[in-house]
A and B are shown apart, each in its own frame.
Chain A
Amino acid sequence: MPTSLLPTPEQLIDQLARDIAPLLHDLGPGAAADDEWALVGIHTGGVWVMDALARRLGEELPQGVLDIAFYRDDFSRIGLHPQVKPSNIPFEVEGRRILLIDDVLYTGRTVRAAMNLLFDYGRPAVIRLAVLVDRGGRELPLCADYVGARITLRPDEHIALNRNHDGVGLHFDVQRRAGA
């Protein structure tokens, strides 16, 4: 879909929540309490999406936050990301079912880094990926399990999820990347 037809982030999160709900409830036969899913958002947009999803799902699911700055593959080209935040996974990753959440899926490099980071906490049983927007342009063999919207952007175009000035709502910004 062209970006002019892109629904609002809130509409996409509503839809994602409906798509994801069956996954969380259908734990399969003989499931134990620690088979429940955990949500893991990738800084920063993925964390906003996770928070909004968790409110709609209405369940007390464990939540974690990942900052992939120490796992990026472009460190030797651009150095350390200037505003790295601590990762925080307040639950046992070993054997856990994890729903990884990000705002925009593009090259796949962020998701690669996030999975490597998760594995340094333990060996998850399952990882599923949910993204608000898939903009194509993959450079790694990855795809998302849950997608809010698929859009087509030119390589010099950039889409970002941002927080409204009121600090509550979310919106998309689509820009031409300077010099790209």
Chain B
Amino acid sequence: MMAHPQLTEDGRLRHLLTLEGLPRRVLTQILDTAASFVPVAERDVKKVPLLRGKAIFNIFFENSTRTRTTFEIAAKRLSADIVNLNIDASSLSKGETLLDTVANLSAMQADMFIVRHAAAGAAHLIARHVAPHISVINAGDGRCAHPTQGLLDMYTLRHYKGEFHNLRVAIVGDILQSRVARSQIHALTTLGCPEVRVVAPKTLLPRDVESLGVHVYHKMEDGIRDVDAVLMLRLQNERMRGSRLPSAGEFFKHWGLTPAKLKLARPDAIVMHPGPMNRGVEIDSEVADGVQSVILAQVTFGIAVRMAVMSLLAGAGAQA
């Protein structure tokens, strides 16, 4: 049997690159650990000394404020030292390769890299080349994966809905270009969610999406009927070249989550969104700010989930 690239030989989390193929035991351990980090934020001192002396580098080759900031806060609450690097195209045009950048940072005694990159597989590539004590977290690679977002969505779902075995969940919007959707689908199916729906126009669905074990809906009214949770996705305007869609207004008309459409879901359904939101494009302000919205709770839980991932990784790396 080939060793799992994200796990140590004894099955502990070594890198976090994708949720695909991660066993349920590991996902549950991350969620359980995060539950113990949530109350830390309510104390006088919002820090624990767990990662004191560890050097963590946020390496972002793609813009992001929220994800980078939540990783930064998570690292600081673990007492780690974190350095933010925004590497734009100009630095890369100086000729340094991705692996050269990583080698340089490793020479600065890095213990962990958090990587966002527009190219699929960038974090995997780094993980294959780092020293044994260094862990890598994928903070989003191309259209592939955004595992910590998927995990914080699972945490939020579990927090509000209990267990997964009787949940009906709809993921709505730009599935095609969404790494978040892929991570959500892998996590939901692994955690035993019996009905995962993807709701999108044909042009925004990957061709092989049914092979992931989801039910496909091309009409929003059908797709969100009687669900326990609506997971909205951001319309990736910036990645939309050409004419996959008519216009933002047209999109909102058919695929935007309005109060009227939300009424089709169960009365206690929750609404989630990974942010940043396009109000009036994929979600109506009234829904985004409404009582069923747990969008800001997702942000808060995201910090605890990232603290859990970082401490589990550093714990496994410490013994390498």
Contacts and interface: CB of A to CB of B under 8 A. Distances in A.
Contacts of B219: none
B311 interface: yes
B38 to A, nearest CB: 7
Nearest to B318: A76
B316 interface: yes
Identify the interface centre among A80, A82, A116: most chain B CB within 10 Å of its CB.
Answer: A80
A27 to B, nearest CB: 25
Contacts of B32: 83-84
Nearest to A122: B44
Interface stretch (A30-38, A65-73, A160-168, A171-179): A65-73
Contact of B39 (A80, A82, A88, A119): A88
A80 B44 contact: no
Contacts of B50: 70-71, 75, 80
B48 interface: yes
Nearest to A88: B39
A82 B29 contact: yes
Contacts of B315: 75, 78-80
Contacts of A91: none
A120 B319 CA distance: 28
B36 A85 contact: yes
Nearest to A86: B36
A75 B50 CA distance: 7
Contacts of A88: 39
A71 B48 contact: yes
Given A82-B29, A86-B36, A87-B36, A71 B319 contact: no
B35 interface: yes
Given A80-B33, A80-B311, A84-B33, A75 B318 contact: yes
Interface string A85-105: 111100001100000000000
Contact of A70 (B44, B48, B312): B48
Contact of B36 (A84, A93, A116, A122): A84
B49 interface: yes
B43 interface: yes
B312 A80 contact: yes
B240 interface: no
A67 B318 CA distance: 21
Interface in A89-136: 93-94, 116, 119-122
A94 B44 CA distance: 10
A75 B316 CA distance: 10
A77 interface: yes
B50 to A, nearest CB: 5
B48 A79 contact: no
A75 B314 CA distance: 9
B260 interface: no
Nearest to A82: B29
B33 A78 contact: no
Interface string B7-51: 000001000000000000000010011011111100111011110
B316 A70 contact: no
Contacts of A85: 36
Contacts of A79: 12, 312, 314-316, 318-319
Nearest to A67: B36
B44 A86 contact: no
Identify the interface centre among A76, A77, A87, A88: most chain B CB within 10 Å of its CB.
Answer: A76
A120 B35 contact: no
Contacts of B316: 79
A116 B38 CA distance: 18
A64 B83 CA distance: 36
A161 B155 CA distance: 33
A40 to B, nearest CB: 14
Contacts of A86: 35-36, 38-39
5 contacts: A76-B318, A79-B315, A80-B315, A120-B47, A121-B45
Given A78-B315, A86-B38, A120-B45, 12 more contacts: A70-B311, A75-B315, A75-B318, A76-B318, A77-B318, A79-B12, A79-B318, A80-B311, A83-B32, A84-B33, A86-B39, A120-B48
Interface of B: 12, 29, 32-33, 35-40, 43-45, 47-50, 311-312, 314-316, 318-319
Interface of A: 67, 69-71, 75-80, 82-88, 93-94, 116, 119-122
